Chains A and B, each alone.
Chain A
Amino acid sequence: MFNSIPQKSDPFPGSAPVPEEKLKKFRRGVKGELPPRPQYKLRDVVIRSEAASDLAQKQNARYDLMLPEDAGFLEGDEDEDTCTISQDDIVDAVDITAGAKYFNLTLSQFGPYRLDYSKTGRHLLLGGRRGHVTCLDWQSKQLMCEMNVMETVNDVKWLHSEALFAVAQKKWLYIYDNKGIELHCIRKFNDVLRMQFLPYHFLLATASATGFLQYLDVSVGKEVVAICTKAGRLDVMAHNPHNAIIHLGHSNGTVTLWTPNQREPLVKMLCHQGGVRSVAVDKTGTYMVTSGMDKKLKVYDIRAYRPLQSYFLPAGASCLSLSQRGLLSAATGDIVQVYRDVWGIPVTKPYMAHRAKGSVWGVHFCPFEDVLGVGHGEGFTSMVVPGAGEPNFDGLDANPYRSAKQRQEWEVKALLEKIQPELIGLDPSQLSQVDHSTWEQRHEDRVQVLGFDPLAKEKFTPRLKTKGRSSSGKVEKRKKQVAHEDQRDVIRQTVEDRMKIDKERKEKEKKKAAAAGQKSALDRFRK
């Protein structure tokens, strides 16, 4: 008779618990209630798909721990303000590759510069007001093209990849190759002042001086819609990356929200007492930051359309940009200030500050890098802002290190899943919700066609029994029995469920008590 070898029991049985904040990050949608018990097939399908979705979210949260890079940070001493730290100090303190990200391009001849970074953050496009247009790989300082278009340049924008860009020139809209070859001159788009590119829809939205908001589908080259906004000159434009809605700021202090499916704005918000100078929306589509002629900087929650914060800047902010990690850059004159977490607790001082060489004409954070690009009257400055960029990119979406083959594959896949402009709306997940109104309409039509409601329960008429067993009292009693039957079913079900939950809870508590009660002094010697 042998004693069995004592098996070591796992002190932490089951799989590792996932921290709740990480799970919250990956939670999507709201769990609705299950369909009623008679619809057993639908209920089964819903339970299974919710279980699969939960598993996927948990696995995502677990994988989140293994991401390779960490975000940047800048922490001063106890009594030191981080806004007094200059760019040169930071460059001295970090390694040489990071230090090379702070540089100045002195281009004082061709006017104040507007800029755009491509979606991967690798390529930079600069457009000077007096016609100088250049695109380069700013990390390796390799020039891709440089030209002078001999006209006023209002705005420049990269299209879906680093192969094409759009330049809004004095009269019309021009599309160029990254070698500087003019590909298209689109005369339908005239007097364009500002442009925004919606990457997943392949739409270039342009705001013109004549008050027209036009959408151009760059994959097929067709104008989708030209909306007459009737709001005068449109020179303040931003787009919400979460739902592809265009935000336009007007001189009467309102910000309007537009989709290509409607001729009227979806939402009109009165934001400032003077004109609106700049608008920026964060990448999750929760917060909108606006600055106005009344020298105020306001933060709104655009899911609920509520104002959150309001700050007073002594000189107002002419350009705003939000980074991927929520840093806000506001430029006034030739000073650029960066604020951290403007929508949480009210901010009292900037995170960082820098004086540019000329008056600032455009600011843009570089995606996936801790860099802020500033276009000003004397050229371009790239400044280092620790903690601005998202440290871990997704290789299948925007990969700064992609090869030509990877770019081609990505481009084909992106074109195949190009979203049609009809699906742009305030809630991008509207397609996943049940269309109750259509179902009700269809049900009404079916009732009309059939002449009776197929889902309605038939009225219970008790059978007449003989020998005096069918007195009115007895008939009423029988009717009440049937009427309470389905209530009884529901009650029985809930009671069963509740008993099961109680039993499980008791077992869990018992187990916990058993585990806790086994404390002894010899625990320290246990392996």
Chain B
Amino acid sequence: QHLPALTALSPFPEFPYFIHIHAMKVKVLSRNPDDYVRETKLDIQRVPRNYDPSLHPFEVPREYTRALNATKLERVFAKPFLASLDGHRDGVNCMAKHPKSLSTMLSGSCDGEVVWNLTKRECVRTLQAHEGFVRGMVVRFCGTSFFTVGDDKTIKQWKMETPGYGEEEEPLNTILGKSVFTSIDHHQKEGVFVTCGQQVDIWDEQRSSPIRSFSWGVDSFSCVRFNPVETELLASCASDRSIVLYDMREATPLKKVIMNMRSNTLCWNPMEAYNFTCSNEDYNLYTYDMRYLDKPFTVHMDHVSAVLDVDYSPTGKEFVSASFDKTIRIFPKDSGHSREVYHTKRMQHVISIKWSSDNKYILSASDEMNIRLWKANAAEKLGLLAPREKAAVNYSQKLKEKFQHHPQIRRISHHRHLPKSIYSQTKELRVMKEARRRKERNVRKHSKPGSMPVVTEKEKHVVTVVK
């Protein structure tokens, strides 16, 4: 296509006035700086915005780079250890959360002392509760008194407030039992508590003998817990590798599930009434739906030694587990692997663990007489955040979620330093598991097809359910 030659411009620069006059409509962009520059130094800067995508190219690579930076910074700021509460003179055995006060926490140790700890990080009150181990403690739902059980076969109830000057530290009530009690838990609304030892006993606070006893051919129970939502239900861990479910209103236990190895403790999900997680001796934790006990909802595998205690976060989305292998792991409730692991050279076998009721802190009690305070989110900035800080944190969080599956970002966000023993133990366990799987695969390959059914990982750990 031909374009016409340029129409003539005036060739005589001395005569700038043309013969033809143009009647035209013309507008040239001219911005008034007053609209774009601030008036005084005390104003904020003006930032006009245009969200046209052609003015903002490379959206995806820039967001990816921001996500990568956010992930790296999260690892840089991941310093979860806050404080160590010392004061105990023997290994700490159990802990109890105060239902109404975030800053109070009780702990019981192996020489019978029950120590109060204000989380001003100091000990507020000490009392000699039992001769021998303090096996379990629980604070009453109103927060005015608490119960402890110990190796001297007694249940003692104490007042929450510190005794006045000159007053002796005396329990409100002492109940003597026939055998050692191993755990205690209190009802959420009524004055009823349950202990377990050789059988599971339900006590009324006014009586000195249990109102009901459950037993199912087992000689010892290690842990009993009331359901926080369905307050009439309870569950207990027994020494015949089973978990037994009870209803307080019935005369006999409901049902029990027998597993391959014994469970140490269990914890009900505070948000979902029917789910509970138990910590097992075979290095795993199992989340069960209490309606379908034939196979666990999820198997959580990451520890390299027996898991001793488990506690749910108040949101019900995550839980924390304490293990004999000197580490604490935080698991999301539906995931098979942990999202976080905390360890310290000084922390030995972790016996008890609690997640604080404001969802921010984790308290771990270990057998070297220390209680440690950790952050639940290792990279979180504590304290009051400015609105811009909050917005930046939310933005980084969303970016990390969006790009979490990209290999480089996944590699950085999953990276955790582990002590040498745990790292090598993990590798060894993986090799062992791989070997077992390979053997099973070979047997299946060389036997008649269909004679060896595929048993899923979840079904492997449950032996039977008994009604």
Contact = CB atoms under 8 A, between A and B. Distances in A.
Contacts of B57: 200, 241-243, 283, 285, 428
Interface string B446-463: 000010001000000000
Contacts of B47: 395-396, 399
A395 B46 contact: yes
A409 B368 CA distance: 50
Interface string B48-91: 11111111111111101110010000000000000000000000
Interface residues of B, number: 55
A451 B3 contact: no
Contact of B60 (A75, A312, A314, A428): A428
A76 B3 contact: no
Contacts of A235: none
Interface of B: 1-7, 9-10, 16, 18, 20, 22-31, 33, 35-37, 45-62, 64-66, 69, 406, 437, 441, 444-445, 450, 454
B6 A335 contact: yes
A63 interface: yes
Contacts of B53: 25-26, 28
16 contacts: A72-B27, A72-B29, A74-B24, A75-B24, A244-B58, A311-B1, A346-B1, A347-B3, A349-B4, A353-B7, A354-B9, A395-B46, A395-B47, A396-B47, A405-B45, A417-B65
A386 interface: yes
Given A393-B50, A397-B55, A93 B26 contact: yes
Given A68-B48, A337-B6, A419 B24 contact: no
A429 B30 contact: no
Nearest to A88: B16
Given A84-B20, A86-B10, A450-B437, 8 more contacts: A74-B26, A241-B57, A284-B54, A347-B3, A386-B26, A394-B48, A419-B61, A450-B441
* Majority secondary structure of chain A interface residues (helix, strand, loop or mixed): loop
A76 B24 contact: yes
B447 to A, nearest CB: 13
Interface of A: 25-26, 28, 60, 63-64, 67-77, 80-86, 88-90, 93-95, 97-98, 101, 200, 241-244, 283-285, 310-314, 335, 337, 346-350, 353-355, 368-370, 384, 386, 389-397, 399-401, 403, 405-406, 416-420, 423, 428-432, 450-452, 458, 461
Contact of B24 (A28, A64, A80, A244): A80
A354 B96 CA distance: 86
Q: Which 6 A-B pairs have the closest CB atoms?
A: A395-B47, A451-B441, A98-B28, A401-B36, A98-B30, A60-B51
Given A86-B10, A313-B3, A419-B65, A429 B59 contact: yes
A394 B55 CA distance: 8
B5 A314 contact: yes
Nearest to B8: A84
A94 B28 contact: yes
Contacts of A82: 24
B28 A401 contact: no
Nearest to B16: A88
Nearest to B456: A454
A391 B28 CA distance: 10
Contacts of B20: 84
A220 to B, nearest CB: 15
Given A83-B7, A101-B28, A26 B62 contact: no
Nearest to B434: A449
Contacts of A400: 36
Contact of A431 (B28, B46, B60): B60
Given A393-B50, A396-B47, A94 B26 contact: yes
A315 to B, nearest CB: 9
Contacts of B24: 74-77, 80, 82, 85, 89, 93
A82 to B, nearest CB: 7
Most central of B7, B46, B48 by chain A CB within 10 Å: B48
Given A74-B24, A395-B49, A431-B64, A451 B29 contact: no
A282 to B, nearest CB: 9
B28 to A, nearest CB: 4
B443 to A, nearest CB: 10
B51 A370 contact: no
Nearest to B45: A406
A312 B59 contact: no
Given A68-B35, A283-B54, A311-B3, A419 B62 contact: yes
A429 B61 CA distance: 7
A455 to B, nearest CB: 13
Nearest to A94: B28
Contact of B51 (A26, A75, A348, A384): A26
Contacts of A419: 58, 61-62, 65
Most central of A63, A98, A401 by chain B CB within 10 Å: A401
Nearest to A402: B45
Given A89-B22, A200-B57, A312 B3 contact: yes
Contacts of A75: 24-26
Contact of B48 (A284, A314, A395, A451): A395
A171 B37 CA distance: 43
